[in-house]
Amino acid sequence: MINHHASLVFVWNVADFEARNLGAKSIEPVHLFLGILKSVDFDILRLKEIQILSPGILAEVQNDLSDVRLAFKNAGIETTPIRRRIRKTSGKSGQDNKVRLRRSSRSRAVFAATEAFVKSGSVKPIHLLSILAEMNIPRIAQAFQDSCLDMQLLLHISTMKALSVMTRLDGQSDNEGTWANVSVRLRQEGWKIGWSRLFTGNTITWKIDASKGKVQHIVQTDDFLSAILKLESEVA
């Protein structure tokens, strides 16, 4: 069963504010990204809007946003400058909208992909960031290019962090740590190794590949950890 964690609802509300401030008629993926960027800049404890939350929920929201903040930090991205640049390129499309907005079809597709990524449990901002980083949204991609920032690095870091959060919750082995250990060992042995994912409806397929010279190993499965371990056994 999929549910949207309080931290994701918080980001969604911030995205709604960003969209209305820009005079948009609906919440687009670029507004979701702006919502994530703005959320990590907030001092959560000072926000009156969420002071009604219980201490336990508030702590979880802080923790979830710290995962996102760390992903941006490790990718070498200062959130405030890139948010301002994206806002500037987005421009205003009309008067500020005072009415809460609905998600566009593109944003609904983003949420569907995020839920497919998580499969079960709570969808959190780090999961949403991973999907948005893969979408090649024009205004975001241009802002990253103009700022000499690496979207692929953010995609990798946010995805690994998202996977780590998922395994941390269900007590499985750490995807992020396993990937790091296996990929480092294989690269030391001369292998080129990478991953990609394919979304089909409500399912996700992971593709892990390793190549050296004319030899190539490809593993595709719906579970990232299983794919890593299977590839490791084939290459060994």
CA distance linking residue 7 with residue 159, whole number of Å: 18
pLDDT one-digit tens code per residue, 70-124: 999 999 999 999 999 998 887 665 556 667 788 999 999 999 999 999 887 789 9
Q: How many domains does the chain have?
A: 2
CA distance linking residue 226 with residue 197, whole number of Å: 14
Q: Are 127 and 143 in the same domain?
A: yes
Q: Are 20 and 38 in the same domain?
A: yes
Q: Are 97 and 23 in the same domain?
A: yes
Residue whose pair of structure tokens reads 């190549």 in the numeric block: 211
CATH number, domain with residue 52 = 1.10.1780.10
Q: Are 155 and 183 in the same domain?
A: no
Q: Final residue of a domain: which of 124, 155, 172?
A: 172
Q: Are 109 and 187 in the same domain?
A: no
User: Which residues, at least 6 apart from 54, have a Cβ–Cβ distance to it below 8 Å?
Assistant: none
Q: Final residue of a domain: which of 172, 207, 222?
A: 172
Band of residue 57 on the pLDDT scale cut at 50, 70, 90: confident
Range of the domain at 189: 176-235
pTM value is 0.88
Q: Are 166 and 209 in the same domain?
A: no
Band of residue 6 on the pLDDT scale cut at 50, 70, 90: confident
Q: Final residue of a domain: which of 127, 146, 172?
A: 172
Which of 6-15, 44-53, 218-227 has the least mean pLDDT? Answer: 44-53
Q: Count CB atoms within 10 A of the CB of residue 18.
A: 25
Q: Are 195 and 90 in the same domain?
A: no
Residue whose pair of structure tokens reads 């702590």 in the numeric block: 59
pLDDT one-digit tens code per residue, 145-169: 999 999 999 999 999 999 888 765 5
Q: Are 6 and 115 in the same domain?
A: yes
pLDDT of residue 133: 96
Q: Are 206 and 188 in the same domain?
A: yes
- For range 50-61, the mean pLDDT: 66
Q: Are 115 and 224 in the same domain?
A: no
